[in-house]
Structure 1
Amino acid sequence: MYKEDDVNKAKAVKKMLIEERLWDQIDFIVAFMGPIYEMIRMTDLDRPCLHLVYEWWDVMIEKVRNAIYKPEFASVLAEKDVEVHNRVPPHRDPELNNERRKCLQKLFPDSQVRNKVMEEFAYFSLNMRDYSTPEALENKFHFEPIIWWASYGASTPLLQTLALKLLNQPCSSSCCERNWSTYSFIYGLKRNKLEPKRAQDLVYIHTNLRLLARRDPNYYKNKDTMWDLAGDGHESLVEENVDMLELATLSLDEPALEMVIFNDEMES
């Protein structure tokens, strides 16, 4: 149909698709966008991972740089020569140190308290006092950070309190967004007479059923699962060409629970 509409345009598109340069450019884009997408997916978690963002970002930048300046992509790039900087440990990173000082100045406006926090950070950074014990040093590699700070940070109470606050924070609001998405599937145009308490209970049940389903060994083997609405299950839905209106009826994948909700809707 397109050829009949405009033969010249169709020929131009065909010529472009046959040329190798186009596919070189596509490979180039995929190569450096992959690490960016990978980092975004890692930050899209329902668990505290704010403390990992700086490391993830550093790794992502390194991967993107390596992908961009691969020899096979040299013809795509305008610049051929690039200087790749070696990464340095966090305590030797001037940018990271400056930003940490700025952060402490905002959190602790009192200079005496701030100096105390910086002193405590020095003990931690240099593995001094309680941080120098063999047990504390070994468990750095085995404990979750928040567990480690709760176990060994009592000698630096100000720094421990700050660490526990930061280590409890997720990277994004995606967990809230998923909760709102689940709520919108349960309370919508077809089911709009639920009381707030009833809708809240249904969201709670749906979320916990999803968590229980993830404990099933066969959960990750089933690519057609509908539990990850607004989450990791988008790919299978796109492949099956399921639109959002059809998807709304699948938001609760327990037939018995669906029946309860529909009965509740009919009664109300």
Structure 2
Amino acid sequence: MYSPTEAMAPATCWATYAKHLPLLSSVARRVLAQPACASAAERNWSIYGQVNTTARSRMQHETGDKLVYCHEALHLKGKLQDAGYKQKAEKEVGHGLGLGLVGRGGSQDVRRRRRRRPSGGVAVRHDR
């Protein structure tokens, strides 16, 4: 015989019918909500491998984490914009990371100032 719970996703079934077992229900919903594949983790490891090259071998682990986060955030933002999603207000892309990245319409002013190097070359310095 067919019951309505057979057509439900397991997490939905636990959320709906397991009110009398709140602790077990919360654990079951958390376990069942986990992704069944590791593709997101593999993607992050791949990006981290591209970020942490031999030229950047002295880079701190936290800096690499921030770069991977920014790469994924910008990638997601681009996908959402391509899909036609429009944000009401542009916010900082690297919010909380101290990166100072601002999307279009941001209020942060970044000035470029040239300074001379002792060797005669020109270096570009970014000031906030």
Q: TM-score, normalised by structure 1?
A: 0.26
Task: Return the structure number with greater helix share.
Answer: 1
Higher Cα Rg, which structure: 1
More strand by share: 2
Larger RCO (CA under 8 A, 6+ residues apart): 1
TM-score by length of 2: 0.48
